[in-house]
Every structure is written in structure tokens, then in C-alpha cells.
């Protein structure tokens, strides 16, 4: 009996220690999170006053090199894109941005994020405590994870987002870009078929456009370059155009899928590298994609 009594006391001590440590460590690590210069920490800390806001998945990250946009346009730019960020998640992030920061004058959406599934949703738990929208998206796809996050606060910090936040403790992440060149094995690939936009993402894109139009914020939809260009890019662009026309008849996707033709300017088949991004941005700037025509938004 003595052993069993000792075990009970020991288990009680273990539980107390685990939960106390969980709360104390999570609080300490949260302080590190909110002080980071990682894009989502900056978003929720507030105080950003970008003129141009970029939204998209990894193609948005590596096609829209923020320092180059600022150099070309002279306008403050904030790239909120992130790997595997679907349009549904982008919508939540945009709404949060508008809640916490001064509204931008132009939002550029890399429109192939309408193809992206919700793979990033699993990461959202890290910022879920800052955003009911992200918390809802996370709980929708990960009900068990949401419960675990409520039970153990440390679990919320178990994410790539948190690692990024650690990495960008002392400097901005806005110069994040691929700097490698496409491996030989991918260079000579034949053009293939790419997935078509997902209905729930097209609906989210329509809501984004509606919101931005209501707020007087200009919006551009851009399809960034591929190597090689998928044969069904016109169909992808058409699906986006047909959908978005329901809420804004003037708006359509600007197809730059074949705008960069040198494979040395790609990091892989779907991502530009720094050189490629600079080349694309020069073309976009020349074509007036970053031109802002309206007055400052309401």
C-alpha cells in the first residue's frame, strides 16, 4: 500500500508540475512571439501602415520580393503571403490585418492561392489566441488539436510559425526569398496540368474583393510565373475571372504565368528566385500593376 500511496502522490505532483510548467513556459514563449518581426507577429502587434499589401501562398512569397517593390514604387509594402496559405486563410488574415492596422491602398493577390488546399490551417493555432477567425479556421480542420491547445498552451506553440517567429526576433522577414536556382532534374520537365481553383477559395476570393471594394481599397489579381507554364493556365485564369466577375465585373486575373522565360530565374517549377522576382516586378511595375489610382481608403 505504501508504494501505491507514493505513486498517487507522485502522479499528483507530476500533473501539477506539467500544468504549471506548461502555463509558465507558454507565457514566456508567447512574449517572444509577440515581439518577433515575423509577418504574423507584426500583423497582430499592429501599427503597420503599408500602402501595398501582398497576399498569397508560397508563390506570393517568392514572386513579390518586398524590398524590390518598395524600390520600384517608393511605396511602403507589406508581404503577408505564406507557404500553403489558401485563399480562405488569406481572407481571415486580411480581415485581421484591417482590424489591427491602417488599411492599405492596394492589395495584390497572387491568385493561384485559390488552388491551394488548407495545409497551412494546422499552423494557425500559434496565433489563434490573437484571432478568433484563425481559431475558428483551426478548430474546423483540427478539432482535437483545438482541444489540446486549450488543455496545454505549449501545444499552440508547436508550429513552423513559431520557429519562424524565433528566427525573425531581431530582423524583418520581408526580404524572405528563394536564392537558389532550379535543379537540373526539374529544368527540362514537360508542361503538365495544374489543379483548378477550389470552389471554397473562389468564394473567399469574392468575399475579399467585396470587402476591399467596400473599403475603397484597390485590388489586383496576378498569376505569377511557372516553369514550365502548365498547359491549363488559361483555364485557371478563366475560372478565377468567371467567379470574381460576380462581385466585380471590371476585375480579372492578370496572367503573368509565362512572363519569366529564363529557367535560371526559378528556384523550382512553381517558385521564382530573387532574380526572377526582380524581373517579374519590373514587368509588373512597367505594366502599372502597382499603380494606385484612388484616394486613400476609408
Report the distance separating Cα 98 and Cα 43, nearest Å.
Answer: 9
Which CB, 91 or 274, lies closer to another protein?
A: 274
3-state secondary structure 113-154: HHCCCCHHHHHCHHHHCCCHHHHHHHHHHCHHHHHHHHHCHH
Which CB, 91 or 123, lies closer to another protein?
A: 123
CB of 148 to another protein, least distance (A): 8
CB of 2 to another protein, least distance (A): 8
CB of 194 to another protein, least distance (A): 17
Which CB, 70 or 148, lies closer to another protein?
A: 148
CB 281 within 8 A of CB 77: no
Report the distance separating Cα 78 and Cα 39, nearest Å.
Answer: 8
Which CB, 81 or 101, lies closer to another protein?
A: 81
Report the distance separating Cα 89 and Cα 43, nearest Å.
Answer: 14
CB of 131 to another protein, least distance (A): 21
What are the residues binding another protein (CB under 8 A)?
Answer: 2-4, 6-7, 10, 13-14, 17-18, 21-22, 25, 29, 83, 144-145, 148, 152, 154-155, 157-158, 160, 163-164, 167, 178-181, 183-186, 267-268
Which CB, 180 or 294, lies closer to another protein?
A: 180
- Edge-to-edge strand ranges of the sheet holding 52-55: 77-79, 52-55, 106-110, 218-223, 253-255
CB of 61 to another protein, least distance (A): 12
Amino acid at each position: 500500500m505504501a508504494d501505491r500511496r507514493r505513486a498517487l502522490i507522485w502522479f499528483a505532483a507530476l500533473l501539477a508540475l506539467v500544468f504549471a510548467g506548461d502555463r509558465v513556459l507558454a507565457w514566456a514563449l508567447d512574449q517572444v512571439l509577440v515581439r518577433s518581426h515575423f509577418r504574423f507577429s507584426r500583423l497582430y502587434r499592429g501599427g503597420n501602415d503599408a500602402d501595398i499589401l501582398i497576399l498569397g501562398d508560397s508563390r506570393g512569397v517568392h514572386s513579390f520580393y518586398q524590398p524590390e517593390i518598395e524600390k520600384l514604387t517608393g511605396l511602403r509594402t507589406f508581404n503577408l503571403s505564406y507557404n500553403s496559405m489558401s485563399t480562405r486563410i488569406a481572407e481571415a488574415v486580411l480581415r485581421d490585418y484591417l482590424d489591427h492596422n491602417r488599411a492599405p491602398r492596394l492589395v495584390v493577390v497572387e491568385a493561384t492561392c485559390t488552388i491551394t488546399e488548407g495545409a497551412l490551417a494546422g499552423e494557425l493555432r500559434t496565433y489563434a489566441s490573437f484571432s478568433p477567425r484563425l481559431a475558428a479556421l483551426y478548430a474546423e480542420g483540427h478539432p482535437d488539436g483545438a482541444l489540446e491547445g486549450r488543455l496545454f498552451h505549449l501545444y499552440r506553440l508547436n508550429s513552423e510559425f513559431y520557429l519562424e517567429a524565433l528566427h525573425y526576433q531581431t530582423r524583418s522577414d520581408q526580404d524572405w526569398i528563394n536564392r537558389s536556382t532550379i535543379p537540373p532534374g526539374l529544368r527540362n520537365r514537360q508542361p503538365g496540368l495544374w489543379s483548378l481553383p477550389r470552389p471554397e477559395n473562389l468564394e473567399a476570393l469574392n468575399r475579399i474583393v467585396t470587402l476591399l471594394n467596400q473599403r475603397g481599397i484597390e485590388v489586383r489579381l496576378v498569376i505569377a510565373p511557372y516553369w514550365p507554364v502548365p498547359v491549363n493556365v488559361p483555364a485557371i485564369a478563366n475560372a478565377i475571372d468567371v467567379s470574381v466577375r460576380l462581385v466585380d465585373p471590371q476585375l480579372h486575373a492578370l496572367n503573368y504565368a509565362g512572363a519569366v522565360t529564363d529557367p535560371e530565374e526559378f528556384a523550382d517549377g512553381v517558385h521564382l528566385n530573387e532574380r526572377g522576382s526582380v524581373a517579374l516586378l519590373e514587368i509588373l511595375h512597367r505594366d502599372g500593376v502597382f499603380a494606385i489610382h484612388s484616394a486613400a481608403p476609408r
